[in-house]
């Protein structure tokens, strides 16, 4: 059983210590507010730790029937999308992210149907190209082109 309050308290105390260690080199007026915040944070972390020890509360990270696999895969897809954006550019990476998420979140029977794949591809391409058009040409925001396409 993971004690939610104690674990949070320990993490907060560790963070306060790291913050304190880092702030040692600051000058007086840059340090004063940081020091107060770190003291408050340490006190709150300590209180959480004690609360967790006095009245332990088990951490229930996932609710019953939670789609853990989908959440973990979404987290990985988003991390991959962010990593690929500067390399393959906005259009390709966005279509890939949108399409993959559409398929991942479709119900398992629908996932196997060709219609779902076609819909997902059409929606992904339409939305990405529409936003690219608006941002690049109307709002003049330069979206990442991708390092493999430059030079």
Partner 1 sequence: MENVIFAVTQIFDPMNLILLVLGGVAGIIVGCLPGLTATMALALLVPFTFTMPAASGLIMLGGLYVGAMFGDAIPAILINTPGTPSAIATTFDGYPLAKKGMAQQALIANAFSSLVGGIIGTITLLSLSPPLAELGLKFGPPEYFWMAIFGLTIIGTIASDSILKGLTAGALGLLLSTVGISPIGGDVRFTMGLVPLQAGINLMAALIGFFCIPQVLEMIETGAKEYQVIQYVSQKGLLRKTIRELIRKPILLLRSSLIGVIVGIIPGAGGNIASLISYNEAVRWSKNQDEFGKGTLDGIAATETANCSVVQGSLIPMLTLGIPGSPAAAVILGALLLHGMQPGRQLYTTFGGITYTFILSFFLAVVVMFFFVALGSRFFARMISIPYQYLVPGIVFLSVIGSYALRNNLLDVVMMLIFGYAAYILRKFGFNSGALVLGLIMGPFAEQGLVQSLLMGRAAGSIPKVLFGRPISLVLIGLSLLSIAWPIFSAWRERQQHRKITMKEGEIIDG
Nearer to partner 1, 88 or 128 (CB): 128
Nearer to partner 1, 23 or 92 (CB): 23
Measured between alpha carbons, how far is 8 from 17 in angstroms, rounded to an integer?
A: 14
Nearer to partner 1, 92 or 102 (CB): 102
Q: Least distance from C-beta 29 to partner 1, angstroms?
A: 4
Residue pair 57/4 in contact by the 8 Å Cβ criterion: yes
Nearer to partner 1, 68 or 118 (CB): 68
Measured between alpha carbons, how far is 57 from 52 in angstroms, rounded to an integer?
A: 7
Binding site for partner 1 (CB under 8 A): 4, 7-8, 12, 15, 19, 22-23, 25-34, 36-38, 40-41, 44-45, 47-48, 51, 59, 61-63, 65-68, 70-71, 74-75, 78-79, 81-82, 85-86, 94, 97-98, 101-107, 120, 123-124, 127-128, 131, 135, 139-144
In which residue are the tokens 């550019």 written? 89
Q: Least distance from C-beta 16 to partner 1, angstroms?
A: 9
Give exposure, 117-146, as e/b (b: 16+ Cβ within 10 Å): beebeeebeeebeeeeeeeeeeeeeeebeb
Q: Least distance from C-beta 151 to partner 1, angstroms?
A: 19
Query: What SS3 state is found at 55?
Result: coil
**73 class by beta-carbon count within 10 Å (0-12 exposed, 13-18 middle, 19+ buried):** middle
């Amino acid at each position: 059983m993971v004690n939610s309050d104690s674990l949070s308290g320990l993490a907060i105390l560790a963070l306060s210590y790291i913050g304190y260690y880092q702030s040692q080199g600051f000058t007086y007026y840059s340090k004063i507010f940081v020091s107060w915040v770190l003291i408050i944070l340490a006190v709150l972390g300590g209180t959480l730790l004690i609360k967790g020890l006095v009245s332990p509360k088990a951490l229930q990270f996932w609710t019953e029937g939670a789609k853990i696999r989908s959440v973990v895969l979404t987290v990985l897809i988003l991390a991959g999308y962010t990593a690929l954006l500067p390399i393959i550019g906005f259009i390709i990476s966005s279509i890939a992210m949108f399409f993959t998420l559409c398929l991942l979140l479709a119900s398992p029977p629908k996932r196997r149907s060709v219609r779902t794949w076609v819909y997902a591809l059409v929606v992904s391409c339409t939305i990405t190209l529409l936003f690219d058009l608006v941002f690049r040409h109307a709002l003049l925001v330069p979206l990442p082109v991708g390092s493999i396409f430059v030079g």
